[in-house]
Chains A and B, each alone.
Chain A
């Protein structure tokens, strides 16, 4: 009795419980039953204990030791390396902490790389060299198999008897349908009609008992014209409670003091709805880019352009802040401003068009 004998009787299953079979013969039989054929099989080192084999073993061992040391190093760095940010001028210890993350990465990387290279080398250099082939059938399943599968499924339905037990059928429907609703309902709650939130900002007089809203700095100081020099700009918020917080994140404007000539140009170019929106040489534009809503606040005082740092949209201040470069397609909304009798800026009305990126209802 030999392996060759079994091979010759290809379709005859071999009795694997036969105690006389070697372990490798059982493996081979398993492969054969799965339709896998061994083309070529030989140990990596037919003669054990050669110099080359020893060298490879040492290399693999070295990799594993490196992996262990790396992992230990990771634990040590994690536990003992100074990680807390400290600024030396203010009594901090200095700059060891800046290496904390790189050291974590280095040690863990060393550990994982050591383990990986070790295992890879083991598999490639020490395991037997083998070539296996498995046949695959073409096309769909056999007609017989399809009939059997269909019968199994149909039989399962018959076994439940759902067709002749209408009460159970209805009860199941009643039990399962609300569960489906329970899964979908939370999604529905995510859909909140925005109302007119997208059309109003903090500068809407409704935030100030119907009175026009003033312009203030981040710290609440009301903005006066003399705060901004020619060629200067200031970020202003609606002077209402929480005006400079995220509650009114759609409201900030860039208030710019133009040169005489530029202010004249801006006034001449103004769209009809913006006539009179400027106050002398001062002009206020929404800070929210009309592309995707970044703060478009890079003010170039020589070229009179406003830039958005995110996607390089550029708006021409002297021409209604219309886009002249980049992906933005709408002008930055202008806030109509005036100065009250106490000498402070205020918004004559809310923005005349919705601020920020486009949305469905915005034509």
Chain B
């Protein structure tokens, strides 16, 4: 009785072991399939590859002359783009700063040459070359900002952050200001939310980097909300004079006010 039982139990044990092995394999495979990055899935892979290929083609047509083969940079013409990340590309291209018309002190905001889709393709291509800070989709940034906008206190906190981190260059009322050697910090009026976000993330040109470990995404959204709040807000007196602050206002009062008074005085004296 004991021997057959032992034999039978050995067979059953082996069968059980096999079943457990198959089960474990299935589990591991399933988990792997479930958790593996989407780009390895065929469909996503193909569309992403197509995007990168499109970006590479655009790059080779429009950017390569300055930024070099494989974005390695060209001495005296353009920096390497390896590691700058997609956020940087989307900012520079969507704000029209890149491609630059010519080498000058500062790349200025101008109407973009590429569509947002092309910018995304370029960004994807640069991102595959060396990683770096990644751009958030426009809708995501806008939703975060809209969320902050519902709460005046949150916007006020954004104001606090803006005054500590941004106002020294961009001015207290986002009008911008002068930097060294002819460069300047641009006005923030009318800059889309996602571009402000990308600028903070990547520090374009002379702007310092405000990465996520310094200003958390929520704090960035608060700052953007404050900037939007300022820019939709009224100008006391009806005219902001570029919102540069007391210098322009003082100059305007001095030039307009004093010359009006001087002319009036001359007129009165001349008539009597």
Contacts and interface: CB of A to CB of B under 8 A. Distances in A.
Interface in B136-181: 149, 152, 160, 164-165, 168-169, 177-181
Residue from A120, A228, A299, A300 whose CB has the most chain B CB atoms within 10 Å: A300
A305 interface: yes
A40 to B, nearest CB: 16
B236 interface: yes
A302 B164 CA distance: 21
Contacts of A297: 168
Given A89-B149, A120-B268, A228-B214, A307 B179 contact: yes
Given A124-B271, A303-B180, A231 B238 contact: no
Interface in A103-131: 120, 124
21 contacts: A87-B229, A87-B233, A88-B232, A89-B232, A90-B152, A98-B238, A99-B237, A120-B268, A218-B164, A227-B214, A229-B211, A229-B213, A231-B208, A234-B214, A235-B165, A298-B169, A300-B183, A301-B203, A302-B205, A307-B179, A309-B168
A13 B122 CA distance: 104
Given A88-B232, A120-B268, A227-B213, 20 more contacts: A87-B229, A89-B149, A89-B229, A98-B235, A101-B236, A124-B272, A226-B213, A228-B214, A232-B203, A232-B210, A233-B208, A297-B168, A298-B168, A298-B177, A300-B183, A300-B206, A301-B208, A312-B178, A312-B180, A314-B180
B188 interface: no
A77 B153 CA distance: 32
A76 interface: no
A102 interface: yes
Contacts of A233: 208
Contacts of B237: 98-99, 101-102
A218 B162 CA distance: 13
A73 interface: no
A302 B181 CA distance: 12
A301 B169 contact: no
A122 to B, nearest CB: 13
A220 interface: no
A229 B201 CA distance: 10
Residue from B169, B180, B185, B236 whose CB has the most chain A CB atoms within 10 Å: B180
A95 interface: yes
Given A98-B235, A120-B268, A300 B213 contact: no
Nearest to A301: B208
A307 B214 contact: no
Contact of A300 (B165, B179, B229, B272): B179
B103 interface: no
Contacts of A228: 211, 214
A325 interface: yes
Contacts, number: 82
A283 B238 CA distance: 44
Contacts of B272: 124
Given A90-B152, A124-B271, A229-B213, A302 B238 contact: no
Residue from B164, B208, B210, B271 whose CB has the most chain A CB atoms within 10 Å: B208
A167 to B, nearest CB: 60
Interface in A220-245: 226-235
A299 B164 CA distance: 13
Given A295-B168, A312-B178, A302 B234 contact: no
B129 interface: no
Interface of A: 87-90, 95, 97-99, 101-102, 120, 124, 218, 226-235, 295, 297-303, 305, 307, 309, 312, 314, 325
Interface string B202-237: 010111111101100000000000000100111111
Given A98-B234, A102-B237, A295-B168, A231 B209 contact: yes
Contacts of A97: 234
B264 to A, nearest CB: 10
Contacts of B160: 218
Contacts of A309: 168-169, 177
Contacts of A301: 203, 206-209
Nearest to B233: A87
Contact of A95 (B168, B169, B234): B234
Contacts of B179: 298, 300, 307
Contacts of B177: 298, 309
B225 to A, nearest CB: 10
Given A309-B177, A312-B178, A302 B208 contact: no
B234 A303 contact: no
A98 B272 CA distance: 40
Interface in B99-113: none
A215 B115 CA distance: 45
Nearest to B168: A297
A98 B236 contact: yes
A133 to B, nearest CB: 18
A87 B208 CA distance: 31
Contact of A229 (B178, B214, B268): B214
